[in-house]
Amino acid sequence: MVKDLTVDRSFDAYQDFVLKCKLAWTRQLYPALKSQYDATVAERAAAGAPVPADHTEVAAALADNPLAQYFGWFERHLQRMKYSGLHGLEPHFAGRREQLAEDLKAGAESGLVDLDPAFEQPGYYVAVDIHQQPGGVWSDEVGGYIYERGARTTTPLLASDADLHHRFTREVLARASGAKRLVDLGCGFGKSSRPFYRQHSELDVVGVEVSAPCLTLAARTAAEDQARNVRFRQADAADTGLDAAAFDVVTSTMLLHEMPPPHIERLLHESHRLLAPGGLSIHLDFLTDEDPFRRYIHYGHSARNNEPFMPPLNEMDIAGAHRQAGFESVEVVPFEEMPGALAPGFDAWRFPFVMIIARKAA
């Protein structure tokens, strides 16, 4: 985890307040809305009226529900407060630009990152400020710091968001025993790569990412860790420029839902190209089931958090797209990001995490 370079009690208190509000939204508003929706469905069924069959009909049924309106407003504006409010992430880190730029030199000069000055960002990526981060995570030299700090509260129920990544690392390596080389697509500021290179010194890790500010921060963190088995590369995950058949494992963490389907298809072909025979592809992302209410919540989250490609991913034949790319034995497995998250009685809001697992023919 990147250390805060300054102490700002107002900023810390503000961000803590936002987190507590998000926890209330997660633990209280969500189950209350689900309860009201269930009651509405029961009333309709008892009266012989049709019940919602898909997410659009759920939206229509809840259009005039005050709690549903408040639920959506609360999520949208909490995210705006988090990034752009009086003590939001963007003004906080922008006001420390000189100090942070100096700190990032350790990453740029580490020898662990290859930046491409001529790299052109994909059009879909720059068209929207994903997560509501002003300017996106690529356009500002301190954007990696903003993204890193914001990611700490993306999954508010977790005591530490690092636990999710450690869990995923264990799942990956349990399926790829003996792996020597791993490429982490869309590695961001390096949080998804870090458990691999820190805990498994025998594993050579390459992190691929489009955002130069994130890559520089990833390299700074790796240099601070004194890591020798990782390097970072600025490239599109669908066109990495890395050698064919050079890796035992290709992975990504919450990347696919930030791409339109044609780009996902290109990424899957690139994943297949990068893997040695028998290699493992495993992507951690979000796919909700066909339950109309859960899909309504997921698609609403997409709109409120500037994540326009969540619904298209959810509606893709993702297993078929893997097979079209040349993979075999594709499976989609629910992922438990924390203890009890998949238990039947779990009633708080959570992302519908899944692992999409495929293997290249030996």
pLDDT digits (tens, 9 = 90+) for 18-35: 999 999 999 999 999 999
Q: What stretches in the chain show pLDDT beneath 50?
A: 1
| Residue pLDDT, tens place only, 112-170 | 999 999 999 999 999 999 999 999 999 999 999 999 999 999 999 987 767 899 999 99
Tokens of 131: 């997560």
Quickly list H helices, 95-180. Answer: 97-108, 123-126, 143-151, 162-175
The confidence score (pLDDT) of residue 159 equals 73
Residue 359's SS3 state is: strand
Residue 114 zone, left/alpha/beta (φ > 0; ψ -120 to 50; rest): beta
Beta sheet of 230-234, edge-to-edge order: 113-114, 230-234, 204-209, 181-185, 247-253, 275-286, 353-359, 328-334
Measured CA distances, 328 to 180, 280, 319, 320, 357 (Å): 22, 10, 9, 10, 10
Q: What is the rounded distance in angstroms from the CA atom of residue 168 to the CA atom of residue 338?
A: 11
Which residue, 12, 310, 337, 352, is CA-closest to 166?
337
Tell me the backbone φ, ψ of residue 359, rounded to 5 degrees: -135, 140
Q: Exposed, middle or buried by CB within 10 Å (0-12, 13-18, 19+), for 95?
A: middle
Q: Does domain 162-186+237-359 have CATH number 3.50.50.60?
A: no
- CA–CA gap between residue 112 and residue 279 (Å, rounded): 25
Round to whole Å and give the CA distance between 251 and 146: 24
Query: What would the pLDDT profile of 187-199 be if each residue is shown by its tens digit?
Result: 999 999 999 999 9
| C-beta of residue 296 within 8 angstroms of C-beta of residue 72 | no
Cα distance between residue 348 and residue 19, in whole Å:
15
Q: Write down the pLDDT at residue 138.
A: 96
Element containing residue 354 per DSSP (H, E): strand 353-359
Q: Which two tokens stand for residue 140?
A: 């500002």
Q: What is the pLDDT of residue 162?
A: 73
Give the model's pLDDT for residue 37.
98
